């Protein structure tokens, strides 16, 4: 099982909460967040980071089921 992480760079304003809490999962490039790897093993901390994103720019999808576990607005 793996999850797909996507960051909507149009919505991201570079607050850095995701990168600050999970620098091994998210990085800032040109002032915007992006995942270090687009596919990861399931990790509840990544879901928390998506929930805490003030711009709701992070989407997490279960690759097996296609279910959106966290979705940008």
Taking only the tens place, the pLDDT of each residue in 17-40 is 999 999 999 999 999 999 999 999
List C-alpha distances in Å: 64 to 27, 33, 39, 69: 25, 25, 12, 12
Answer yes or no: is pLDDT of 71 > 90: no
Q: Read off the pTM.
A: 0.92
Answer yes or no: is pLDDT of 73 > 90: no
What pLDDT was estimated at residue 72?
Answer: 77
What pLDDT was estimated at residue 49?
Answer: 96
What is the pLDDT confidence band of residue 44, given thresholds at 50, 70 and 90? very high
What pLDDT was estimated at residue 33?
Answer: 97
Averaged pLDDT of the chain = 95
């Amino acid at each position: 099982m793996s999850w797909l992480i996507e960051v909507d760079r149009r919505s991201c304003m570079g607050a850095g909460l995701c990168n600050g809490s999970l620098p091994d999962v998210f990085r800032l490039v040109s002032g915007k967040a992006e995942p270090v790897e687009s596919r990861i093993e399931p990790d509840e901390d990544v879901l928390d980071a998506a929930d805490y994103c003030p711009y709701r720019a992070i989407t997490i999808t279960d690759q097996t089921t296609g279910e959106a576990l966290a979705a940008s607005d």
